[in-house]
Amino acid sequence: MVQVLDPIDGTRGFLKGSEALYVVGLALLIDGEIALGVMGCPNWQEDISENRGTEDQEDKAGQPGPGIIMVAHVGCGTWTKILANTPGSIAGGYIGWARCFVNSCLLVHEARFCIPESITWESLPLSGFFSSTTCTDGTGNREVLLLPTCCGSLCKYLMVASGRASVFIQRSRAQTIIKAWDHAVGVICVLEAGGQVTDWKGNQLDLAADQVERRIIFPPGGVLVTNGNLHNKILGMLTSNSSIA
C-alpha cells in the first residue's frame, strides 16, 4: 500500500494567494492500482457540480472562494462538495455531496480543452487538425475552445471529471519530468466520473514505472485525459500526426 501526496499542485497559484487556484491531492495505491483519491482546491469560487462555465472563475479572480473537495473510490464514483458555507447557498448556506460526471461531448471541435501553461496549442499534434480559441462565443468545425485554467495538472483533471472540460492533454518533453503525484489522484477522479486516462499510445499510466523511488512516470508521447467519448478519436489524431517515442 502506497500513499501518493501532492501537497501543492500549482505552486505559482499558491504563491499568488487568493489570486489563483492550486490543488492539494492524495491518492492511495494498493498493489500498484489506485484505490482512492481525494483532492481539494481551497480557492474555488463555486460548487463545481453545477457545471457552469470557467468565466465565473476568471471574473472573480483575486477573491478568495469557499473552495471544493473531490473524492473518488473504485466502484463508488466521483463526488464533490464545497468546503465552506457561503451566503445564498441552499438551505441557509450548506450544500452536501454531489456526484459528478464527465461531459457527453461527442465531437472534437465541440470539446473544451485544457493544456499546461508551459506549452502552446501549436506545439501539439492536434494543431494540424484544429486551430484554438479562448473565445466562448462559438467555434467552427476546424477550431476548438481552449479553457483558461490555473497552474498545475490536478486542477485540469478536476475540470474533466466534473464535466467542465472535455479534454486535458499534456506532452512529454525531454526537459520536463512528469511526476506520479501530479496525476495519481486525478486519474481515479476522472475514471470514476466516466472518463479515460492513457498515454498517447493508449496505454494506462504506469505509476510504478520508477522502480527505485516511485516518483516518475514515463508516458510515451504524453498524457491524454478525456470524457471517454473522444478518447479514441484524439488518440488517432495524435498517432497520425506525431512521432511518439
Please report, in range form, the residues annotated as the binding site for Mg(2+).
6, 8-9, 182
- What are the CA-CA distances from residue 116 to residues 152, 169, 176 (Å)? 7, 8, 12
- List b or e across 181-213, with b for residues whose CB sees 16 or more CB atoms inside 10 angstroms: bbbbbbbbbbbbbbbbbbbbebeebebeeeeee
Query: CA geometry: angle at 198 spanning 192 and 202, to 5°?
Result: 130
**DSSP single-letter state for residue 216:** B
| CB-count exposure of residue 101 (10 Å: 0-12, 13-18, 19+) | middle
User: Which pairing describes strands 143-146 and 131-133: parallel, antiparallel, or unpaired?
Assistant: parallel
* Grid coordinates of 4: 501518493
Q: How far is CA 148 from CA 5, 54, 78, 235, in A?
A: 25, 7, 23, 23
3-class SS of residue 5: strand
In total, the chain counts a number of residues equal to 245
DSSP alpha helices (H): ranges in 152-193? 154-161, 184-192
Q: Please tell me the distance from the alpha carbon of residue 80 to that of residue 68, in angstroms, as a whole number.
A: 7
Binding residues: 6, 8-9, 182
